[in-house]
Chains A and B, each alone.
Chain A
Amino acid sequence: GENVEQHPSTLSVQEGDSAVIKCTYSDSASNYFPWYKQELGKRPQLIIDIRSNVGEKKDQRIAVTLNKTAKHFSLHITETQPEDSAVYFCAATVQGGSEKLVFGKGMKLTVNP
């Protein structure tokens, strides 16, 4: 089955710096890779996703890249702000298959003002 590894587990940056979160997956059939953000005490919410037919997707200050050959994908946050502080989860699944989304263990991002 699918296994998703995420690193680092914690990251602390200064406001305005960039942050990068990296994930690897094991199932070469996986074709959908979402990222979720969970603020303290709140439910996870989807912030961006990418499908295997593209290599990069951007939405304002966040972007995700996918390398299918190496089976890894990354989340990039530029010009970080204190409100970016949260736990970020990557996930992977096979669309049209079992639809069982497998999550990484999460990364706690702290943006210091």
Chain B
Amino acid sequence: DGGITQSPKYLFRKEGQNVTLSCEQNLNHDAMYWYRQDPGQGLRLIYYSQIVNDFQKGDIAEGYSVSREKKESFPLTVTSAQKNPTAFYLCASHDRDGNEKLFFGSGTQLSVL
């Protein structure tokens, strides 16, 4: 199950606190994504990046921020502006050379204390 690694597996956030979720891949993939998974809601796109130093907002970007300084890394920060952060967060990546198969990390469960 190598290739794309998320950490930590569980994370707790205090009210008003920013927390950062890590996502690292060694697949040499150009594109990386962050999804939020809530029960019965499917996978909703937060942010995505198709190349280093560039990223775009997804459908639910408010209260989140990202950076893409290295090809291998795409960290997600959940800011205090995100009022309902409790969810399962999935990072994914794919190669842009005609192969759209997404490889997912094992996820981070974020809960609010």
Contacts and interface: CB of A to CB of B under 8 A. Distances in A.
A11 interface: no
B45 interface: yes
Main secondary structure of the interface of A (DSSP, over half): loop
Given A44-B43, A104-B42, A106-B42, A99 B100 contact: yes
A49 B94 CA distance: 15
B31 interface: yes
Nearest to B106: A43
Contact of B43 (A1, A42, A89): A89
Given A100-B45, A103-B43, A105-B42, A44 B96 contact: no
Interface residues of A, number: 24
Interface in B35-74: 35, 40-45, 48, 50, 56, 58-59
A90 to B, nearest CB: 9
Interface string A86-100: 000100010100111
B104 interface: yes
B76 interface: no
Contacts of A89: 42-43
A44 B42 contact: no
Given A9-B40, A43-B90, A101-B45, 9 more contacts: A43-B104, A43-B107, A44-B43, A45-B104, A49-B100, A100-B48, A100-B58, A102-B59, A103-B43
6 contacts: A1-B59, A34-B101, A46-B102, A100-B58, A103-B44, A105-B41
Interface of B: 31, 33, 35, 40-45, 48, 50, 56, 58-59, 90, 96, 100-102, 104-107
